[in-house]
Amino acid sequence: MGIRIGFFSTPQHRVFNYKPRYYDATKEHIKELEEKYSKNEDSSKEKRYIPGAAIQSAYRDGLDGMRREGGNRNLKRIIILVTLAAAMVAAYYLAQGLARMFL
């Protein structure tokens, strides 16, 4: 493995891994059968609970928020590059001036 030196940092790897605390497969199967064969149509109109749906949407919103901050990051990178270029130009002229003094 080599040493990576760079001016631009890469974003950290983000992982979504949601596991419910308790899950009873037989109870869930019975509930699905009751919903499927029930005569009551009002229960079918209700939204069905999907474990982790709220967390997934919050995760997506967080990623969108990170993308919105990209403009500021690009501006910071441009400022850093301009500052480095100005420092290199100043160092060049300073070296030219010192060379004339000693020669």
Please write the tens of the pLDDT for every residue from 3-32: 666 667 777 777 777 776 777 889 999 999
- pLDDT surpassing 80 at residue 90: yes
For 16, which DSSP code?
-
Please write the tens of the pLDDT for every residue from 32-57: 998 888 866 554 456 777 777 777 77
Return d(Cα 49, Cα 37) in angstroms, integer.
18
Give, to the nearest 10 degrees, the angle between helix 53-68 and helix 70-102.
Answer: 30
CA 69-70-76 angle, 5° bins: 100
pTM of the model: 0.33
